[in-house]
Structure 1
Amino acid sequence: MTVIPIRRVTGADVADVVASADFAVLPVGAIEWHGPHLPLGTDTILADGFADALDGGDWTAVRYPTVSLTAVPGQTRHYPGTVAVRPDTMVDYLSQVLLGIARNGFRRVLVLNAHDANMSTARAAMEWVSGELPVSILLANWFQLVPWTETAEILGPGPARGHGGAFETAGVLAFDPETVRLDGVDDLPPRPRLQTADHVLVESHPAPWQGWSGRLSMVTQDGADEIRRRAERQLHALVAEWLARPEPESPTTGVPGPHELERPATRGRRENG
């Protein structure tokens, strides 16, 4: 169907637009160093690109402006061009934005994220807002739409998923090839990942590290286009499955009030005087 930019909706039409829409879209990116070969707006380009890719689906969506200045890891915070927002500030800000969108009447909000550090702040904000109003908030991270196994199938064996690495570079190449500079940038293989179990590992400077790492020699235009196709297809499937779910009830539905809570039994109290 269509994606409607909220900035073009008049005050006279906003109620009808909200009523006719299936969900609102909030793209979230970053302004962050990704190495000498990628633009500072890498994550914002990806968030914008996948938001645009929602057009043509079997739904009507209202798109809010992309949030581009966000929390950034300590690993890249000191590199040129990066703008970093404190994580606690980001949680507060996203909470207010999501609450404002929900108060406009949207019962579903898609947070379309392209920056790894937004996962925790967006999740915290989503949890808070879902307790304030009846709303279903879906966090879709573009880098999770294509599994690691499929990345190897497309780009070849080897580490491709590092910050500014082959996978992320391929994503930007598919949407905005003029911003990518692969010539003259040598491979910078990342440190091997821990393999025992799923985990979150934060290190200040995980050498080898130049604010990015990866084997850029793996990137091809055909591979980039295939990654984009698969991610867009998976995004459409995810949104369709989400929309098939019933809308949420009020967060207080079924919750007993203080007068309804079971009181503990009294001991040593006489019934009559």
Structure 2
Amino acid sequence: MTVSWPESGLLPIGRVPGGELAAVAAAADFAVLPVGAVEWHGPHLPLGTDLILAEGFAAESGATGEGPRGVLFPAVPYAACPGQTRPWPGTVAIRPEIAVGYLADVIEGIVAASFPRLLIVNGHDANMSTARAAMEWVSGRRQASLLLVNWFQLVTPAETTQLYGELPARGHGGAYETSGVLGFDPDAVRLDAVEDLPPKPKLPVPHPYVLVESRPDPWQGWSGHISLADVETGERVRHIAGARLREIVAAWVAAPPPAPPTADPLPTDPTPSRKEG
């Protein structure tokens, strides 16, 4: 049968009859899974901020309708959340070990449905570790190409400095994340609900690091210079990040698929053969 693809480039799996799944999977270039969270981001942002961003950018992966064809799976709404946001109202956090197992089952189920290429679009930073652990597990069990993209990283720190100036903009619930939501759902944001809450300065070193603290100061479950965010900047963020996501997907789909996994990665004789001279 011939599958009719929507102009957006993404076909919602929830609308596919079971009898047509095989034809849809054969015609698709990849599947898409948004992963987000239900988490406090301050009085100005919705509790579904990470879902809005994950689902929004997942849709952007096929926005032109001219590139690869994707099948969109329903978003994963709940996630492991940091200790800094768990006490705040509205945060629904699951244990990290539960998150890894749950994501592993979801990812394997999508691959088993004949979608060996799966794009995971992330809107919640804590998902990066749990999603990758699940992806690594599935890739050792089934032949699959699993691509994880975090929307937050699609615009560089240097570019956010160009957009917002020298004040920090990339914190939890800050100007950059607020702009991202404004780019998709401006009615969900209350810019007048808070005043700027300058975040704790980063360590004065140029080297990469990960710092996890119980409760930064200042901190109200969010921090940042919200006065820097507006709808125009949000549309710019959406445009830049969406274009880069589509570029990544196009290159990924064009690459050759991986070989199937093996339970015996070592050769029968691990000693290299030597040619007698």
Matches of 2:264 and 2:169, distance apart in 1: 47
Matches of 1:121 and 1:57, distance apart in 2: 32
Aligned residue for 1:213?
Answer: 223
Aligned residue for 1:201?
Answer: 211
The residue type equivalent to 2:87 in the other structure is H
- Residue number among 52, 64, 75 corresponding to 1:45 in the alignment: 52
Aligned residue for 2:254?
Answer: 244
Residue 157 of structure 1 and its aligned partner are, at CA, apart by 1.9
Question: Does structure 1 conserve the Cα–Cα contact (< 8 Å) formed by 2:35 and 2:122?
Answer: yes
CA deviations on 1:129-182 (whole Å, 9 max, x unpaired) are 110111010000000000011111112221000000000000001100011001
Question: Does structure 2 conserve the Cα–Cα contact (< 8 Å) formed by 1:23 and 1:109?
Answer: yes
Question: Does structure 2 conserve the Cα–Cα contact (< 8 Å) formed by 1:29 and 1:69?
Answer: yes
Q: How does 1:85-234 map to 2 (within 5 A)?
A: 85-194=94-203, 195-234=205-244
Question: Does structure 1 conserve the Cα–Cα contact (< 8 Å) formed by 2:30 and 2:115?
Answer: yes
Question: Does structure 1 conserve the Cα–Cα contact (< 8 Å) formed by 2:39 and 2:90?
Answer: yes
Question: Does structure 2 conserve the Cα–Cα contact (< 8 Å) formed by 1:26 and 1:112?
Answer: yes
Matches of 2:75 and 2:176, distance apart in 1: 22
Residue 221 of structure 1 and its aligned partner are, at CA, apart by 1.8
Could you list the runs of 5+ residues in structure 2 that have no partner in the other structure? 1-6, 272-277
Matches of 1:78 and 1:107, distance apart in 2: 38
Matches of 2:32 and 2:51, distance apart in 1: 14
Question: Does structure 2 conserve the Cα–Cα contact (< 8 Å) formed by 1:57 and 1:236?
Answer: no
Matches of 1:70 and 1:88, distance apart in 2: 10
Larger Rg: 1 or 2?
Answer: 1
Residue 262 of structure 1 and its aligned partner are, at CA, apart by 4.4
The residue type equivalent to 2:59 in the other structure is D
Matches of 1:230 and 1:25, distance apart in 2: 20
SS in 1 for 2:138: helix
The residue type equivalent to 2:227 in the other structure is S
| Overall identity of the aligned pairs, in % | 55
RMSD: 1.5
Question: TM-score under structure 1 normalisation?
Answer: 0.92
CA deviations on 1:185-241 (whole Å, 9 max, x unpaired) are 110011111234111111010010000000011112221111111000111111111
CA deviations on 1:227-260 (whole Å, 9 max, x unpaired) are 1110001111111111121011101298347xx2
1:253 and 1:21, CA in 2 relative to 1: closer, same or farther beyond 3 A? farther
Work out the number of aligned pairs and report it: 261
